[in-house]
Copies of this chain bind each other. A is one copy, B any other.
Amino acid sequence: MSEAGASELAEQSAVVRRFNRSYTQRVGALEESFLGLGMPLGTARLLYEVGVEPGTTRDLRARLGLDSGYLSRLLRRLESDGLVDVSPDDDDRRRRRVRLTAAGRRAWDDLERRSAERARDLIAPLTPRQRARLAAALSDADLLVRAATVTLEQVSPTSDEARAAVAAYVAELDERFPGGFDASGAVDADAERLAPPTGAFVVATSDGAPVACGGVQALGDGVGEIKRMWVHPGWRGAGLGSRLLRHLEGVCRDLGYDEVRMDTNGSLVEAVAMYERAGYRRIARYNDNPYAEHFFAKRIA
């Protein structure tokens, strides 16, 4: 990294820290809206989590990062207060399903209301214009922070995550291509080529949901091809595409390729722009993909 880049990074991280300090001090209190309901914070957090999405104790433990014994005790308390209903799972009677009772739902609504009130009180002193500015800044920051914490993971192209991501990709192509997109067969047929030893498939997830994906397959002669690259529409504009592209180039390198190629349709204007920005040059058609209109290549060290 250049000298200038490093000092910028330091300055930006200082901004993050400064923000973090002042924000948690003032707004961290939002979490404390969980207090004052006559139950300790941990119990309230659990109640809240159950209300957001009921599930097995196992799920809840994973989501909240709690010890099983501790969770059990918290649940017992909520149960004896009549706020949740714990019953064995029919599929596996070792597991227990947790859901809110009617009283629990009321308590949850109460939490929700308090939390919303806190947020409203926070921004109430601002003028409407300033409030709009704050909302814009926070949602921008939110997108970027989420994007920064997305994890890229190599998975089997036949895994559930991969299938879900590819399905979203195909659905979008079908919608955006002038004549629609017919994926019949091709998806499953390609699956094998997108797996080791000569291929790979990467899914980016945030909170467990796929938000981007991309695959690599062999094209012969030390050339790798990037396929099925997709970024969730709600996640565009946060540099996730470039990051994924860089990552896939690294995967190609690891697989021993020294050149990357790809094709794309002209209606995917953002993609075309991104490839050009990333240093890809246009080349002649190298396959008979009927949907492909632009062809790119880039040498990787």
Contact = CB atoms under 8 A, between A and B. Distances in A.
Interface of A: 5, 8-20, 22-24, 26-28, 30-31, 115-116, 119-120, 122-135, 137-142, 144-150, 238-239, 242-243
A221 B8 CA distance: 58
A114 to B, nearest CB: 11
Interface SS of A by simple majority: helix
17 contacts: A13-B116, A13-B122, A13-B123, A17-B116, A17-B119, A18-B139, A19-B142, A20-B30, A22-B142, A24-B24, A28-B28, A125-B147, A126-B239, A130-B147, A130-B238, A134-B141, A134-B144
A127 B22 contact: no
Contact of A132 (B8, B120, B131): B8
A78 to B, nearest CB: 21
Contacts of A133: 140, 144
Identical subunits present: 2
The 4 closest A-B pairs by CB, nearest first: A13-B119, A130-B239, A137-B141, A137-B140
A120 B16 CA distance: 9
Contacts of A12: 123, 131-132, 134-135
A246 to B, nearest CB: 9
A101 to B, nearest CB: 24
Contacts of A5: 128
A6 to B, nearest CB: 10
A286 B97 CA distance: 76
Contacts of A22: 142, 145-146
Contacts of A13: 116, 119-120, 122-123
From A30, A137, A139, name the one whose CB has the most chain B CB atoms within 10 angstroms: A137
Given A30-B20, A31-B24, A239 B141 contact: no
Contact of A16 (B138, B149, B242): B138
B130 A144 contact: yes
A20 to B, nearest CB: 5
A143 B220 CA distance: 55
From A26, A133, A135, name the one whose CB has the most chain B CB atoms within 10 angstroms: A135
A131 B27 CA distance: 23
A5 to B, nearest CB: 6
Given A134-B145, A138-B141, A144-B133, A123 B9 contact: yes
A126 B147 contact: yes
A174 to B, nearest CB: 30
A129 B125 CA distance: 32
A19 B133 CA distance: 14
Contacts of A24: 24, 28, 31
A214 to B, nearest CB: 16
Contact of A127 (B23, B28, B135, B239): B239
A139 B238 contact: no
A283 to B, nearest CB: 25
